[in-house]
Amino acid sequence: MRKIYFQLLSFLLIISFTANSQVNLSGTSYVETFDNIGTALPTGWSVRTGATSSALGTAVALTTAKTVWSNTTGAFKNFASADGLTTASTAADQNASTDRALGVRQTGAFGDPGAAFVLQLANTNGITGLSLTFKLQSLDATSARSVNWVVDYGVGAAPASFTAVATQPTVLTTGNSTFSNNTVTVNFGSALDNKSDNVWIRIVTLAPSTGAGNRPTTGIDDFQLNYSQGGSDVTAPSVISFSPANNANNVVSTLSSASLTFDETIQKGTGTIVLKKAADMSIVQSTDVTSPSVTVSGNTVSFPISLSPNTAYFIEITNGAFKDIAGNNYAGITGTTGWKFTTGSLLFSASFSTCTSSLTDGFTQYSVTGAETWVCTTFGRDANNSPSGSAPNGVQINGFSGGTNVPNEDWLISPALNLTATTYPLLTFYSRTAFNGSPLQLKVSTNYTGSGDPRLASWTDINGRFPTQASDTWTISSQINLSAFKESNVYFAFVYNSTNEEGARWTLDDISVDNSPTPPSANLTANTSDIQFGYAASGSSATKTLVVTGNDITSDISLTSSANFLLSANGTDFSSSISFTQAAANNKADTVYVKFNPTENDKNYNGTVTVTSSGLTVTVNLTGTSIDLAKTLEVVNWNIEWFGSSVNGPANDSLQEQNVKKVFQSVGADLYALVEIVDTSRLGRVVRSMPGYSYVVSNYGSHTNPTVAGDGPLSEAQKLGFVYKTSIFSNISTTPLLNLATNTAADAASKNYDNWSSGRYPFMMNADVTLNGITKNVKFIVIHAKANTSPTTTSYNRRRDGADSLYKLLTTNYPTDNIVILGDFNDDLDSTITSGITPRITSYSSFVNDSINFPALTLPLSRAGKKSTVSFNDMIDQVVVSNEMRPYYMNGSATVLTDVTSLIASYGSTTTDHYPVFTRYAFDGTILPLKLVEFNAAKKATAVDLSWKTAHEINSKEFVVERSADGITFKAIGSVAAKGNSSSEAEYLFTDSKPLAGYNYYRLKQVDKDNKQELTRVVYVTFEVGVTVSLSPNPAKDVVNIALRNVGEVVSIQLVDVNGKVVKRQSVNNSETKVSFELKGLSKGLYLLKVINKQTVITQKLIVQ
């Protein structure tokens, strides 16, 4: 009985593998896509091993579960189709694909030779002219062995012989370390017409594999039989579509092939395809249809063409050039209207309209690190709803995944372009970015192979003119000139980077390259907007370099310098003006030598270099001093980006160390306040190479509290520190601020711990500072605030609350101390960088709103549009001092040292993504024109009396009295002559007889006879009279700050254009407030800003730049 049971089971198993029913043909075609093989083989299909030319083979089971291509177990399997995927597609990509292929992995013990995909037809009664198309896919590029496949057929219930048929391509091969997806066509002629028995069609490997190594993974997909029913076919084939489409305009001139699709399967006949110019009927090319370059795949014919820009064409095809399986000739095309089209200047265009599962339009992606990659998205650009609308489709990447930012580097690479015959190849694209993170990089290569790691090729960085961080609107980058790359193999790439702290979302759409007959608009740039020379004595000089680049310029580049600064094109011959010819300078970076040449000692110098060409002007600000550095304190705050980290930041840690040392030695500051110190031993090595300096580093950082699960070691964290000159700084002590007890559970549970980036507290160095024999105690507080990471509103609130806590601590515990707060604030002071905050008030408003007690020395840099990072256009590295420290600040010395880029190649990628920020201070009254000991303001009826007293004066000239309504923007309202030279006390009085309604802020500008200037502290009085309004800045660009006084009730703010139309409005209900009013998206010009309540309307003019 047991024996009979097993015999019965074996029989049933054979039945399950071999008798998967049969296919009864109907209609005129049979199609199988294999997309549903996750449950079972399709009806009529079996998979077999042991197949030969005389044996059907033994049916075996199909692994229905999704399997990755690289799986080496021998079996027939459910693979992802190669359609839309690449050899780099991950396991996740493959498993997510709904487009499936029936496949086999051969091994030495399975299917080599004799693996077969088999279709069983019930019969072909009444059916003629069978033809077949299918895709043969080689799916594992790591498989080195090669396998040849054939298509054959057999007839009968159990055929004893099989007949091979010709295929196109002739040889069908998989493996050989290739990834391929080839369409195969087969014409059975009349061999299978009207068969009353079973018909078997096999795709089979009859010969052993060749070579060494792994055997291939092979798949088949999109299997289609075409045939005729009910007797002979007497209907000629007809075309159902052309590519390029008939009557198409602006066809891409780099199109290399054309195609036409018929309503049935066709084959080659005899005849020619002729491409002609419509203008003169001249023949551009004539192609014999029997040529291998003309390919037939099922019902589609493709052939090569060569086109020129801006040309009208038509195509003629002779009668009988193609015919259907029954031999009916295609009638062909004659004349100028049957198939015509016109090319434009467009060389390449990618709309991504069909980008739904895999990248389209010839683009590929390469992932260097991280799981996120460039993918299709339905949120493409909506041309009818710009700039914020979206419509299918585009390409996108986002470094924020799984609730956190993750490190990624991913390349989106164009197809190869041939630019050799172009005039002005211009790249245009749209991009959009949300959340905070690095901008994209645009790169161009002429030696990339088209596959593999792009970093192995040479790439040139191009200015992509990308939108600003978190702007989240579609922005066009137009007419980017690629004329420097007129070669036959040109690729451009968009490179995305994200980190553990920042991960922006970037979307691209509507990318094109146009062959313009005219050049793009001129562009003129300088590699820095500020050059600081430091100290040079009268009679000596100092020289630095400036790099000027003119793209697409139409005239010479001219440069002029102001007094005490000279220029040279060769570093030898200096004058106040130089020039570069248009022919020599166009699309080229030119080095300019700038010399600081002071004529007097003990003086600060400011000047400019003005660069002009093609109607464009670039201004570079220059500063230098002949005040002896021994008398002053030079301070630099600098984020040195993951300094020495083996995981984050610049890849070459030793090069970064060398570059930081180079900047230290070049700047020569007395104090460096540093953030993002990781490897303290590297910092120690740098400092030990600088005689006379020492350093101190915090013993805490973000996420380093050992009581918190998951926190890491301090050695891998970003820390804060100071590098200082030991001859100036003494009695040094350091302490964290706002913590409870470093690295304790209580501290980790505190609100300040969370607000200061999970333990990255402000680090205070208390020191006695001696300058020119004068010693003062100063507290330097370096901060590295919470980064603007997602969710950004939460980050903003944490940063704001942390700043508020610091403000409260300083005003309570250090109310009369000399304080300098400096470092990476991770926000701008004029308006926040955080998207979604309305109004855009800085997270440091507690300090900014108290400008009397905490003047922000770098706020003027923010308002001037300066930036402190390489990648973004914001000033996030700042300096704020206490009002006690303010008199020692040397006015105008705050500078972003962008000129360090001239010291170091690829500064932003090899050193840090932040620039150093410089400020200067002096204690010695002899450096300033006088010693002010008292300055007061007092109301007197409807006037204000200002009184002040000096202890001594040296060569003083006058006091200029300045007034402000907001404590920010000051204007002179009068002056008082000074004593000149005096060793005794002198008293002064000035009366403001017409003070402003509301707040009146006053300061004195002390001027000596050499025109050296110094500003005093600010004092104020208040006249509460009605609603008052002040605007700053004016003119304004992206935002205007509105100071409102005595509102008393709800106020409406309206912005009205010159036509009387209200273009923007906002309501405020606080009795006294400052409002940030956004201007983005408005046209440039004059507007009226109206502040309205029930009693009054106040109108002020506002110029939008």
- The most confident of the ranges 109-113, 523-527, 1077-1081 is 109-113
Residue 1058: which pLDDT band, with cuts at 50, 70 and 90?
Answer: low
CATH superfamily assigned to domain 1028-1104: Macroglobulin (MG2) domain (2.60.40.1930)
Same fold, 932-1023 and 1028-1104: yes
CA distance 795 to 791: 6
701 pLDDT more than 60 = yes
Residue 6: which pLDDT band, with cuts at 50, 70 and 90?
Answer: very low
CA angle, residues 107, 112, 113, in degrees to nearest 5: 175
Burial class (CB within 10 angstroms; exposed 0-12, middle 13-18, buried 19+) of 962: buried
Determine the 3-state secondary structure of 802 from DSSP: helix
Neighbours of 746 (CB within 10 A): 11
> With b meaning 16 or more CB within 10 Å and e meaning fewer, what string describes 897-931?
bbbbbbbbeebbbebbbbbbbbbbbbbebebbbbb
Please give the average per-residue pLDDT across 1043-1055, as a whole number. Answer: 72
CA distance 771 to 928: 14
- The most confident of the ranges 21-25, 644-648, 797-801, 852-856 is 797-801
17 pLDDT more than 80 = no
Question: Is-contact 823 784, C-beta < 8 A?
Answer: yes
Report the interhelical angle of 680-688 vs 653-667 (nearest 10°).
40
Burial class (CB within 10 angstroms; exposed 0-12, middle 13-18, buried 19+) of 39: exposed
Residue 649, CB-side half-sphere exposure with 13 Å CA sphere? 28
> With b meaning 16 or more CB within 10 Å and e meaning fewer, what string describes 388-403?
eebeebbbbbbbbeee
Helix/strand/coil percentages in the chain, nearest 5: 10, 45, 45
Secondary structure (DSSP) of 1050-1069: -EEEEEE-TTS-EEEEEEE-
Residue 926: which pLDDT band, with cuts at 50, 70 and 90?
Answer: low
**Given this structure, which CATH class describes domain 347-516?**
mainly beta
pTM: 0.53
Question: Residue 125 has what pLDDT?
Answer: 85
Going by C-beta distance under 8 Å and a sequence separation of 6 or more, which residues neighbour residue 208? 112, 113
CA distance 859 to 869: 16
Please give the average per-residue pLDDT across 65-79, as a whole number. Answer: 96
**Given this structure, which CATH class describes domain 629-922?**
alpha beta
Sheet containing 943-953: order of strands = 930-940, 943-953, 986-992
Q: What is the CA radius of gyration of the chain?
A: 38
60-74, 159-173, 847-861, 913-927: range with lowest mean pLDDT: 913-927
CA distance 829 to 844: 7
227-236, 346-355, 674-683: range with lowest mean pLDDT: 227-236
Question: Is-contact 313 279, C-beta < 8 A?
Answer: no
Would you list the domain boundaries of the chain? 29-229, 239-343, 347-516, 523-626, 629-922, 932-1023, 1028-1104
Q: What is the pLDDT of residues 577-635, one digit of tens each?
A: 999 999 888 877 899 999 999 998 888 888 999 999 988 999 998 988 888 888 899 99
450 pLDDT more than 90 = yes
Residue corresponding to tokens 């208390």: 766
Provide, rounded to the nearest whole percent, the portion of the chain with pLDDT above 70: 94
895, 900, 902, 903: CA torsion to nearest 10? 150
Phi, psi angles (nearest 5°) of residue 927 = -75, -30
874 pLDDT more than 90 = no
1080 pLDDT more than 90 = no
1048 pLDDT more than 70 = no
Structure tokens, 752:
């300040």
Amino acid making up residue 1043: A
Strands annotated E in 872-912:
877-881, 895-896
Secondary structure (DSSP) of 954-1007: SSEEEEEEEEESSSSS-EEEEEEE--SSBSS-EEEEEEESSPPSEEEEEEEEEE
Question: Residue 930 has what pLDDT?
Answer: 55
On average, the pLDDT of the chain sits at: 89
Question: Is-contact 167 187, C-beta < 8 A?
Answer: no
Structure tokens, 113:
């030779």
Q: What is the pLDDT of residues 554-571, one digit of tens each?
A: 899 999 999 999 999 999
The hierarchical CATH code for the domain 239-343 is: 2.60.40.1220
Question: Residue 15 has what pLDDT?
Answer: 34
CA distance 211 to 144: 7
Secondary structure (DSSP) of 187-198: E-TTTTTT--S-
- The most confident of the ranges 122-131, 320-329, 718-727 is 718-727
CA distance 111 to 52: 11
662 pLDDT more than 80 = yes
Question: Residue 1073 has what pLDDT?
Answer: 67
Q: Which CATH architecture has domain 523-626?
A: Sandwich (2.60)
Please give the average per-residue pLDDT across 810-825, as a whole number. Answer: 95
CATH of region 932-1023, choose from 2.40.10.170, 3.40.640.10, 2.60.40.10, 2.120.10.10 = 2.60.40.10
Amino acid making up residue 626: S
Determine the 3-state secondary structure of 680 from DSSP: helix
Pairing of strands 542-551, 588-596: antiparallel
384-393, 723-732, 924-933: range with lowest mean pLDDT: 924-933
640 pLDDT more than 90 = yes
The hierarchical CATH code for the domain 29-229 is: 2.60.120.260
Please give the average per-residue pLDDT across 172-191, as a whole number. Answer: 93
